[in-house]
Amino acid sequence: MSEVIETVVYKLDELSDTARETARAWYRDGGVDYDWYDAVYEDFIRICDILGVRLKLRPVRLYGGGTRHTPCIYFRGFWSQGDGACFEGQYAYRKGACRQIKGYAPQDTDLHDIADTLQDIQRRNFYQLNASVRHQGHYYHEYSMVISLKRDSPTCQDMTADAESTVSEALRDLASWLYRQLEHEYDHLNSDEVVDKVMMANDYTFTACGRRFG
């Protein structure tokens, strides 16, 4: 014989502090299972363009059977040793990069330093340095990038002794910068303030102990 069981449910702001933490844990367990990093990627793509980094593209199959091309940017995070971000592409001198990056991100001194470093080493090599960057291995971090540098000199001049290490370090610093932005965005999306706002906006209901209902 069937019976009706009544359950009292609550909105997030009606829960006790302990129950609210349980509700937040439920949301965080799957609340960011979408491409939350897209805005960070878009910003990074723009920064790469300014600095002279042309990101490699890879084909991605769409559910409808078509194909789109997406930049080769990879990351893993944010809790384990070996987590990080990396990218694949080509780097060459970009005139006006220092001025443009300071206009685009006026408060970001890390990006300014990267641009200044690349500008200085290019100047000492007559702006003839070109680098290729590819990913290697099973991990994604700045040291999983294999960076090959050459100097396109019409008179076959060698690059300066510090060119390879300087360009490699600057490009690895760029990958580290990307990882910090991703981590910052992830932490923001999982903060109590944002999590509470999303759950309230979606009218989620919970039992008294904070378990999701419905």
The reported pLDDT for the residue numbered 7 is: 84
CB 48 within 8 A of CB 54: yes
34 vs 101: which has the higher pLDDT: 101
Q: 98-141: per-residue pLDDT in tens?
A: 999 999 999 999 999 999 999 999 999 999 999 999 999 999 99
Spatial separation of the C-alpha atoms in residues 70 and 56, rounded to whole Å: 8
Tell me what the mean pLDDT of segment 60-81 comes to: 88
Spatial separation of the C-alpha atoms in residues 56 and 77, rounded to whole Å: 22
Enter the tokens of residue 122: 């290019």
For the entire predicted model, the pTM comes to 0.92
The reported pLDDT for the residue numbered 32 is: 76
pLDDT over 90, % of the chain: 83
Q: 2-30: per-residue pLDDT in tens?
A: 788 788 888 999 999 999 999 999 999 88
pLDDT at 67 over 90: no
Half-sphere exposure of residue 153: CA atoms within 13 angstroms, side-chain side:
13
The reported pLDDT for the residue numbered 60 is: 85
The reported pLDDT for the residue numbered 13 is: 92
Tell me what the mean pLDDT of segment 72-98 comes to: 94
In order, the DSSP letters of 76-93 are E-SSSTT-EEEE-EEEE-
The reported pLDDT for the residue numbered 80 is: 85
CB 206 within 8 A of CB 21: no
- Among the listed ranges 31-45, 103-117, 141-155, which one has the minimum average pLDDT value? 31-45
For 47, 66, 204, the CA distances from 59, given in Å and listed in that order, are 22, 10, 38
Spatial separation of the C-alpha atoms in residues 193 and 190, rounded to whole Å: 8
